[in-house]
Structure 1
Amino acid sequence: MALLRKINRVLLVLLIFMVYLILYSRMHSAPSPPSHTDTRVESGVVGGAVAGAAGRAAGGAVEVEMSEAEDDILIVICAAEERLGGTMANRQQHTQQHGRQRVLLHRYAARQCRVFLKGRVRPDSSRPELLHPLNFVRFYLPLLVVKHRRAIYLDDDVIVQGDIQDLYNTKLQSGHAAAFASDCDLPSEVIRTMGMQTTYMGFLDYRKLEVRELGINPSDCSFNPGVFVADMETWKRQKITKQLETWMLQNYKNNLYSSAMSGGVATPPMLIVFHGKYTSLDPVWHVGHLGWSPDTEYSDASLNEAQLLHWSGRFKPWDYPCVHMELWEKWYVPDPSKRFSLVRPNS
Structure 2
Amino acid sequence: MKTDKPTVIISSRVHQAVIDVLAPTCRVVANQTDAALSPDELQRRCQDADALIAFMPERIDAAFLDQCPRLRIVACALKGYDNFDVAACSRRGVWLTIVPDLLTAPTAELTIGLMIALARNVLPGDRLVRGGGFGGWRPILYGRGIDGSTVGLLGAGAVGKAVARRLAGFRARLLYADAMPLTPDQEDELRLQRVSPDELLRQSDFVVLCLPLTDRTRRLVDRGLLARVKPGAFLINTARGSLVDEDAVADALASGSLGGYAADVFAMEDWALADRPKDIAERLRGATERTVFTPHLGSAVDEIRRDIALQAAASVLECLKGDKPSGAVNRPSDPGSASS
TM-score for the superposition, normalised by structure 1? 0.24
Rg (Cα) greater in structure? 2
TM-score for the superposition, normalised by structure 2? 0.25
